[in-house]
Structure 1
Amino acid sequence: MTIPLRLGYKASAEQFGPGQLADFAVLAEEVGFDSVFISDHFQPWMHEGGHAPAAIPWLGAVGARTSRVLLGTSVLTPTFRYHPAVIAQAFATLGLLNPGRIVLGVGTGEALNEVTLGLDWPEPPERFQRLKESITLIRELWSGERVTFDGQFYSVTDATVYDRPDELVPIYIGAAGPAATKLAGRIADGFITTSGKEPALYVDTLLPALEEGITKAGRSDDDVDTLIEVKVSLADDRETALEKTRFWAPLALSPEEKRDVHDPIEMQRRAAELPIERAASRFIVSTDPDEHVEQISRYVELGFRHLVFHDPGVDQETFLRTYGTEILPRLRARFGA
């Protein structure tokens, strides 16, 4: 079996309020997208003009207004603001309300979301171990009738998630390095990463690490969905396509430049210092739909079968209708749906 190509929409929680964002998600289903994914931030990337709607209630609201699209987080951190048992309960509920349509995408987190709450922010190795343990606990709560769990970081005693989904909500792991990617290959239902980085990162590091994890666990490639958020900016002229990316300049900051930043004002200041070409460096910037298809196709050819498109502009309706008409049909004709 080969995993079919799926084409999704990234609902920009950092850029739009929850009601407007929900309208975009409904439109995405109408124009032919297969999935809608949302990040879960406590604070926005940008202090001015930014937003940070809570992902869990938003997914419930959008689930009630749609009937077909897959809905999920890319990503949520189940280790600091949330106890993993609370996430197990919340996503079991979402799964029962929207059978077969919910994905729990998880990651190790960012200082911007946790430090403001007075939570300790450990080094990456501990954050990785917390993530691994949280996934173990969530799955035990979804499968066990009465769970006692005494881990290194989390514990529950005689706990029951009464409304367990008939089939477990799939768990995807978001990763930008080899350790978490290998973990996704070993234990997750999907792997999430983002586009616009050096090709060698995907070819030489991430995809080999994913394959190593799959092989060590005795699994098949078809057991793990490969999702990549593809950042795209399409406009009638190049200057407009470039300028659309300005709000998302924080994405162009290096991990070292943003790793420990917990204040949106400081994040905004650092991003504002970037020249527009660097601000746009993570995006496919072009006025030509054919060029978009060609550049997007490179990720399919690498092995990604679930592409979630993120447009940086304020006019999301035009983006959705244009991609629904011009881009999605060409990709499906080329690679199969």
Structure 2
Amino acid sequence: MTNWGYTLMTEQSGPRELVGYAQAAERAGFDFEVSSDHYSPWLTEQGHAPYAWTVLGAVAQATERVELMTYVTCPTVRYHPAVVAQKAATLQLLAEGRFTLGVGSGENLNEHVVGEGWPAVDARHDMLEEALEIIHALHTGDLVTYDGQYFRVDSARIWDLPDEGVPIAVAVSGEKSVDAFAPLADHLIQVQPDADVVQRWTGAHDGPSRVIGQLPICWGPDKDAAIEQAHAQFRWFGGGWGVNADLPTPAGFAAASKFVRPDDVAEAIACGPDLDELAESARPFLDAGFTDIAFVQVGDEGQERFLAEAAEPLLEKLRALA
């Protein structure tokens, strides 16, 4: 059975609004909710970037049923992995077992702000491996000292730990990263519906493992207006992660997406009032073997109306499609 999720897009909404959307998404019937973890929006038009962990703590108290997840946190530059391990344990206690820690190697946009530079991709992957080793060690409750190439931990212990632990999902991009991270994570996060990567990941796990993806849509009663909104807020999406990981500022994304046309966005993102079209856009992820798909409703404007009017019938069509 496929689980359908809702994205708390911190780049496009303020913290109080996000908590309200989380409650409305639970009422609409979404199975889980994921939160981005950004220091800056992709584009200045989005206009927000509240602290995801505070938002998720509030959401954990304001909701009862939906699973929660970071999608994704980078535990290597802006955050030390020992701090991420503590945050994740605390959030799992607040969520009463509903939280999954989603991690990745990050983007320059969010990580450069602490002035530590932006490592090359191979170094970022090595740093993420060390970070996951540290998080696993600290989640045992033992006293941990760790001396790695990139991180040190000195006599650290997490004192408040959930009995059920914290499942970890990791974002990977290809076969090399699957081989590196499959032993260190429970679940797979993948941006593109790549069946070969999914199969390689599944083959590396003896037990069940979730495959979690994310898909932008822009529902609205007027298709042209929805395309315009998607272009204004989400044209950065067309650069691909090879570009998106390395640009440092919203101004850089504005320049990189300068020649992206509304028609280009409309080809990549299902827009408008047709719920069948929006649902069908999930087909490549289903065909690739994804177990969990989180939707992004693009733009803060119209978010309440989407959740009140479109989310429930869209979920009915998605469950029929799956």
TM-score (norm 2): 0.92
1:27 aligns with 2:15: no
Cα distance in 2 for residues equivalent to 1:218 and 1:43 = 35
Aligned to 1:127: 124
Which of these residues, 193, 197, 214, is aligned with residue 209 of structure 1? 197
Which of these residues, 95, 102, 106, is aligned with residue 103 of structure 2? 106
Q: Is the 8 A contact 1:184 1:190 kept in 2?
A: no
Aligned to 2:224: 239
Aligned to 1:285: 271
1:102-127 deviations in Å (ceiling 9; x for gaps): 11110101111122321121110010
1:251 aligns with 2:237: yes
The residue type paired with residue 196 of structure 2 is P
1:262 aligns with 2:248: yes
The residue type paired with residue 228 of structure 1 is G
Change beyond 3 A, Cα 1:187–1:208: farther
Structure 2: gaps of 5 or more residues: none
Cα distance in 2 for residues equivalent to 1:90 and 1:258 = 26
Change beyond 3 A, Cα 1:31–1:115: same
Measure how far apart 1:171 and its partner are.
Answer: 0.7
Structure 1: gaps of 5 or more residues: 196-201
Measure how far apart 1:5 and its partner are.
Answer: 1.8
SS in 2 for 1:273: coil
Measure how far apart 1:237 and its partner are.
Answer: 3.5
SS in 2 for 1:143: coil
Q: Is the 8 A contact 2:11 2:41 kept in 1?
A: yes
Cα distance in 2 for residues equivalent to 1:218 and 1:69 = 25
Q: Which region of structure 1 is more displaced relative to structure 2, 182-191 or 53-62?
A: 182-191
Cα distance in 1 for residues equivalent to 2:178 and 2:230 = 28
Cα distance in 2 for residues equivalent to 1:300 and 1:172 = 19
Cα distance in 2 for residues equivalent to 1:266 and 1:232 = 24
Identical aligned pairs, as a percentage? Answer: 34
Cα distance in 1 for residues equivalent to 2:215 and 2:245 = 22
SS in 2 for 1:173: strand
Cα distance in 1 for residues equivalent to 2:310 and 2:273 = 13
The residue type paired with residue 321 of structure 1 is A
Aligned to 1:319: 306
The residue type paired with residue 261 of structure 1 is L
Cα distance in 1 for residues equivalent to 2:242 and 2:86 = 35
Change beyond 3 A, Cα 1:290–1:35: same
1:166 aligns with 2:166: no
Measure how far apart 1:44 and its partner are.
Answer: 1.3
Change beyond 3 A, Cα 1:181–1:282: farther
Change beyond 3 A, Cα 1:320–1:183: farther
Quote the RMSD (CA, aligned, Å).
2.0
Aligned to 2:77: 80
Measure how far apart 1:75 and its partner are.
Answer: 0.6
Cα distance in 2 for residues equivalent to 1:27 and 1:326 = 14
Q: Is the 8 A contact 1:8 1:309 kept in 2?
A: yes
Cα distance in 2 for residues equivalent to 1:140 and 1:9 = 31
The residue type paired with residue 60 of structure 1 is G
TM-score (norm 1): 0.88
Q: Is the 8 A contact 1:8 1:37 kept in 2?
A: yes
Q: Is the 8 A contact 2:33 2:66 kept in 1?
A: yes
Q: Which region of structure 1 is more displaced relative to structure 2, 182-191 or 225-234?
A: 182-191
Change beyond 3 A, Cα 1:231–1:93: same
Instruction: Kindly report which structure 2 residues correspond to 1:222-237, keeping only aligned pairs within 5 A, or say none.
Output: 222=208, 224-237=209-222
Which of these residues, 232, 244, 261, is aligned with residue 275 of structure 1? 261
Cα distance in 2 for residues equivalent to 1:109 and 1:174 = 9
Cα distance in 1 for residues equivalent to 2:239 and 2:278 = 24
1:47 aligns with 2:64: no
Measure how far apart 1:19 and its partner are.
Answer: 1.0
Q: Is the 8 A contact 2:198 2:289 kept in 1?
A: no
Q: Is the 8 A contact 1:186 1:214 kept in 2?
A: no
Q: Is the 8 A contact 1:73 1:103 kept in 2?
A: yes
1:43-65 deviations in Å (ceiling 9; x for gaps): 11112442111111111011111
Aligned to 2:282: 296
Aligned to 2:186: 189
Equivalent pairs counted in the alignment come to 320
